[in-house]
């Protein structure tokens, strides 16, 4: 089917239809204003495709997530995060040589300019790490203004950003603790390097555990992309105005920080702690979340697209089970989380609204087990999401027929009226 018909009053309008490889067909309404004098209204753009993309596919009804055509379960099982980063940015899995080259770039570009270290001291000690991350990423443009175009060169730009964000995150943690920073090491893999930069110190040697490294790779893969969500839309919005890569990613970081989005992983841990402190009274909080007279929601529950179990949450839940027992961590918040899921998923309120645990429900518990503090949980999400944002920025920047994203509105303010001078105003 290549067109749809739309009747308004006595008039019939023919609208072109855009076909996908998988998923829903889209009705092209871009000329509707000219032909029918109408705009479409779609609160939150929940049913609007803002672009054509070949990066990630989500089937929310069936709980399916694929990056460049590969299922998330396979990628988590068989790939490293760096391999998946390459896949997202380039659209194909790397050969051994390509992966080695990309890893070399990650190593070569892992340091941040020494002058940038002064920035950390300008922040108050209890600054939120997402505020620091977003400011530091946008500042990177001042130090590295050349965004290299073309696939081979863009590798360096992508590797630079993916590598430096990890260094910035670890340095900001060290600074917040008043400890000396730990520089990246060339002999360590991406995730092992991050753990070393975070937790090694002159007084306590951090032993890198390969189970933790593997789990961190898997978590970052789960976070790596999720098509046109709130933060990715922010990235594409900036990119559509031909905004630079760092500015666009910084916008993405700011959007991700919100508690209805990636900030939910911090909010989940805070909520589980609150329930734990309240004698673990799970049913009380399930009731509270159902009551519309307050704004409390079960954090880590529900999703704008998944109306089935989020496949990422399924993987994270299994990972919780295995990792915590392997590294001998007994987190009472995991028991609260399991109980909360059990109670909620038997409750008609959650069943009828198709509200299931999302990616943020179990991932915070995993990061905690690794030693990551609660206020850094969304930073972990951002590090993982970076390859996806970079791929989405690149796709937007390279579209020859790309348009600046500039939605319309339904104006509901006052109609134009005569100006009232100040001495006549009531
Ligand atoms: N707890 C209680 N009720 C909920 C929840 C929740 N977590 N989520 C949705 N609902 C209810 C709403 O109150 C609404 O009820 P109603 O029909 O009686 O009015 C109904 O379910 C539909 O909710 P919407 O807000 O319309 O759903 P939407 O798809 O727009 O929102 C969102 C998705 C924002 C994720 C929502 O489910 C939510 O707030 N969840 C908690 C925050 C969270 O975990 N965010 C992380 C999402 S994953 C990510 O971004 C990485």
Q: What is the CATH number of the domain that holds 22?
A: 2.20.28.60
Q: Are 174 and 180 in contact (CB under 8 A)?
A: yes
Distance CA 14, CA 17 (A): 10
Ligand 1 atom nearest 44 alpha carbon: 30
Tell me how far CA of residue 207 lies from CA of 212, 236, 323, 331, in angstroms.
Answer: 11, 40, 16, 21
Same domain (yes/no): 7, 103 = no
* Average pLDDT estimate for 322-329: 96
pLDDT value at residue 373: 97
Indicate which residue's Cα is closest to atom 2 of ligand 1: 297
Beta bridge partners of 6: 13
Distance CA 110, CA 161 (A): 9
Same domain (yes/no): 29, 156 = no
pLDDT value at residue 266: 98
Backbone angles phi, psi at 155, to 5 degrees: -50, -45
Q: Is the pLDDT of residue 165 over 80?
A: yes
pLDDT band at 146 (very low <50, low <70, confident <90, very high): confident
pLDDT value at residue 2: 87
Ligand 1 atom nearest 304 alpha carbon: 29
Cβ neighbours of residue 47 under 8 Å, at least 6 residues apart? none
pLDDT band at 151 (very low <50, low <70, confident <90, very high): low
* Tokens standing for residue 404: 């600046």
Same domain (yes/no): 13, 128 = no
Q: Is the pLDDT of residue 173 over 70?
A: yes
Indicate which residue's Cα is closest to atom 1 of ligand 1: 297
Q: Are 102 and 82 in contact (CB under 8 A)?
A: yes
Same domain (yes/no): 361, 216 = yes
Indicate which residue's Cα is closest to atom 25 of ligand 1: 304
Q: Give the domain extent around 143.
A: 73-401
Whole-prediction pTM: 0.96
Indicate which residue's Cα is closest to atom 24 of ligand 1: 304
Our count of domains for the chain comes to: 2
Same domain (yes/no): 117, 231 = yes
* Average pLDDT estimate for 237-266: 97
Helix (H, G, I), strand (E, B) or coil at 237: helix
How many angstroms separate the first and last alpha carbons of the chain? Answer: 59
Same domain (yes/no): 20, 160 = no
* Average pLDDT estimate for 148-169: 88
User: Does residue 280 belong to any structural domain of this protein?
Assistant: yes
Known catalytic residues are 303, 360
Q: Which mutation among 231, 302, 341 tests ligand 1's pocket best, with the greatest number of atoms within 8 A of CB? A: 302
Q: Is the pLDDT of residue 347 over 90?
A: yes
Same domain (yes/no): 25, 86 = no
Same domain (yes/no): 19, 150 = no
Same domain (yes/no): 42, 189 = no
Ligand 1 centroid to Cα of residue 302, in Å, is: 5
pLDDT value at residue 125: 83
Ligand 1 centroid to Cα of residue 258, in Å, is: 13
Query: What's the pLDDT tens digit per position in 362-396?
Result: 999 999 999 999 999 999 999 999 999 999 999 99
**Mean pLDDT (the chain, rounded):** 96
pLDDT band at 145 (very low <50, low <70, confident <90, very high): confident
State which of 33, 49, 65 marks the end of a domain. 49
Beta bridge partners of 400: none
């Amino acid at each position: 089917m290549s067109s749809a018909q739309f009747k308004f009053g006595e008039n019939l309008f023919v609208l072109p239809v855009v076909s996908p490889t998988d998923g829903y067909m889209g009705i092209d309404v871009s000329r509707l204003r000219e032909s029918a004098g109408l705009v479409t209204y779609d609160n939150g753009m929940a049913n609007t495709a803002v672009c054509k993309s070949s990066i990630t596919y989500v089937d929310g009804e069936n709980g399916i997530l694929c990056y460049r055509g590969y299922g998330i379960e396979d990628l988590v099982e068989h790939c490293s995060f760096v391999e998946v980063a390459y896949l997202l940015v380039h659209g194909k899995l790397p050969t051994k040589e390509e992966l080695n080259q990309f890893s070399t770039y990650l190593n070569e570009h892992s340091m941040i300019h020494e002058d940038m270290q002064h920035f950390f001291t300008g922040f108050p000690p209890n600054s939120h790490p997402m505020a620091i991350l977003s400011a530091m990423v946008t500042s990177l443009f001042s130090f590295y203004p050349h965004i290299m175009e073309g696939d081979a060169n863009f590798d360096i730009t992508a590797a630079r950003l993916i590598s430096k964000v990890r260094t910035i995150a670890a340095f900001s943690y060290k600074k917040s603790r008043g400890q000396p920073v730990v520089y990246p090491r060339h002999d360590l893999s991406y995730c092992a390097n991050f753990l070393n930069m975070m937790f090694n110190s002159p007084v306590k040697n951090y032993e890198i555990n390969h189970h933790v490294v593997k789990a961190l790779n898997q978590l970052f893969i789960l976070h790596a992309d999720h098509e046109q969500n709130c933060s990715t839309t922010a990235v594409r919005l900036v990119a559509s105005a031909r905004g630079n890569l760092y500015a666009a990613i910084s916008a993405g970081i700011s959007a991700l920080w919100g508690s209805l989005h990636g900030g939910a992983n911090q909010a989940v841990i805070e909520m589980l702690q609150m329930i734990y402190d309240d004698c673990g009274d799970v049913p009380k909080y399930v009731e509270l979340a159902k009551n519309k007279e307050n704004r409390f929601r079960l954090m880590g529950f529900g999703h704008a697209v998944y109306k089935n179990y989020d496949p990422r949450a399924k993987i994270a839940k299994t990972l919780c089970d295995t990792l915590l027992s392997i590294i001998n961590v007994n987190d009472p918040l995991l028991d609260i989380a399991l109980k909360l899921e059990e109670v909620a998923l038997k409750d008609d309120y959650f069943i009828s609204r198709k509200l299931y645990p999302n990616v943020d429900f179990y991932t915070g518990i995993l990061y905690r087990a690794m030693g990551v503090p609660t206020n850094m949980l969304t930073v972990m999400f951002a590090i993982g999401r970076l390859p996806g944002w970079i791929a989405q920025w690149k796709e937007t920047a390279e579209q020859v027929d790309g348009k600046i994203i500039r939605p319309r509105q339904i104006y509901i303010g006052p109609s134009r009226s005569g100006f009232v001078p100040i001495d006549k105003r009531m």
